[in-house]
Amino acid sequence: MIGNAIRAGLLVGVMACLCLGGPCTGFGQEPARLEVTLSLDNDAYVMGQPVFFRITLRNAGSAVRGHIPPQKLERYHLEMASTKGEYRFLDYQPVETIGERPRERDFQPGDSIGDSGAILFCQARPLDDSRPLREAMLAARDYLFREPGTYRLRAVVHGEAHFGLQKPLYSNEVHFQVRPAKQGFEEFMRFAKESVSNEAALAPKAYEVSEQVLRELEGTPYQEALEWMRMDFYLNELMGEDRPRADMPEGERVQREAYRNLAEQILARPSARRMQLGATALVYLVLYHVQAMRLDKALAYAESLRAEFPWSPKSQLATAIRRTMEKQKRKQGSPA
């Protein structure tokens, strides 16, 4: 599965001191060596399935100075090629911090930053100026895989943005198979073309419609992808962080339990747990148990989230939960 990524993870580093427009900024006896590692949730897909990936940038040499975010890798892109074809740019754009670039800091030996995400569509053709913008953008999107076969994927970190390097940093190559479309492909893609972003996220008004589509996809290879999209949307747009209402409708209770089961199933699969699938599942279970006031369980999931996905916007939930538990203990121990 992701063994091919791990085997290839020996990667390519920068076997030279890194210079930021002046004297060499690496220090220590050994040169700085930066390793970029890419891994996927699977080594085989069917046409139309989204690809979940994880990327890390690690310093395997001496300390080096650069404009490096605290946890989340931002300036990179992905490239894909067929077995013998040339690499082409994928228009996946990681979310970047708005404002000034990160402060300059030391990237110590063993330090790493990373990111995880999902891709469903790519921009295959130039936009048609004769159409309205949204219509032109939808028409320009293509399936990530145009046909079955063997593909290669690599990540390219923009070395100039972080370290002032003249050349980019390339990851290992990940090879994977794409098999013919299966039952449910037409239904899934018809819905996705109108209602799903390149990054496999549901559009704001697509949640209700997706429920019927999910029933049509039951038992197909596309079912879990849409289930995850729905859980991700519910988590970020509908769940909130308050305790559930006592008068919550039965339908919502059932939906929450279904997402809890899905999250637990995702976390039980190591190849999925390490990806954005797993990050969404962990955040969901943290908030699910917080809202049920089972703070011990919420804390366990929150600690896993912080350890496994330090770049997650929710990585500090563990700290907040621990403080709440300490306040509760002090309150319980105070005299009446």
CATH number at residue 85: 2.60.40.3880
| Confidence check: pLDDT of 55 > 90 | yes
Q: What is the pLDDT of residue 279?
A: 97
DSSP state of 72: B
Q: What is the pLDDT of residue 32?
A: 63
| Confidence check: pLDDT of 242 > 80 | no
Q: What is the pLDDT of residue 216?
A: 97
Give the chain's largest Cα–Cα span. 75
103 located within any domain? no
| Confidence check: pLDDT of 230 > 60 | yes
Residue with the bigger pLDDT between 95 and 316: it is 316
129 located within any domain? yes
Q: H-helix or E-strand containing 174?
A: strand 174-179
Whether residue 196 sits in one domain with residue 172: no
Range(s) of the domain holding residue 275: 185-333
Average pLDDT on 154-180 reads 91
106 located within any domain? no
Condensed to tens digits (0 to 9), the pLDDT of residues 127-148 reads 677 778 777 777 778 888 889 9
Task: Check the CA dihedral 282-1-53-106 and report its sign.
Answer: positive
Q: Are the CB atoms for 66 and 143 separated by under 8 Å?
A: no
Residue 90 pairs in a beta bridge with 78
Q: Tell me the pTM.
A: 0.85
Of 45-49, 162-166, 182-186, 200-204, where does mean pLDDT reach its minimum?
162-166
| Confidence check: pLDDT of 19 > 70 | no
Q: What is the pLDDT of residue 333?
A: 72
| Confidence check: pLDDT of 78 > 90 | yes
Average pLDDT on 87-108 reads 81
Distance CA(136)–CA(336), nearest Å, equals 67
Sheet with strand 51-59: strands edge to edge: 34-40, 51-59, 112-119
Whether residue 162 sits in one domain with residue 14: yes
Q: What is the pLDDT of residue 334?
A: 62
Of 62-76, 222-236, 312-326, where does mean pLDDT reach its minimum?
62-76
Whether residue 238 sits in one domain with residue 252: yes
Residue 91's nearest CA partner among 79, 102, 81 is 79
| b (16+ CB within 10 A) / e for 131-145 | eeeeeeeeebbebbb
| Banded pLDDT at 97 (limits 50, 70, 90) | low
Of 161-175, 251-265, 300-314, where does mean pLDDT reach its minimum?
161-175
> How many domains is the chain built from?
2
Of 50-54, 103-107, 113-117, 211-215, where does mean pLDDT reach its minimum?
103-107
Question: How many residues are listed for the chain in this entry?
Answer: 336
Query: How many of the other CB atoms lie within 10 Å of CB of 209?
Result: 14
| Banded pLDDT at 287 (limits 50, 70, 90) | very high
57 located within any domain? yes
Query: How many of the other CB atoms lie within 10 Å of CB of 279?
Result: 25
Query: Considering 179, 198, 227, which residue would you say is the last residue of a domain?
Result: 179
20 located within any domain? yes
Q: What is the pLDDT of residue 248?
A: 83
Q: Are the CB atoms for 92 and 117 separated by under 8 Å?
A: yes
| Confidence check: pLDDT of 189 > 90 | yes
Q: Phi and psi for 112 in degrees, rounded to 5?
A: -150, 155
Whether residue 26 sits in one domain with residue 144: yes
Tokens of 66: 């650069």
Whether residue 165 sits in one domain with residue 254: no
210 located within any domain? yes
Q: What is the pLDDT of residue 129?
A: 74
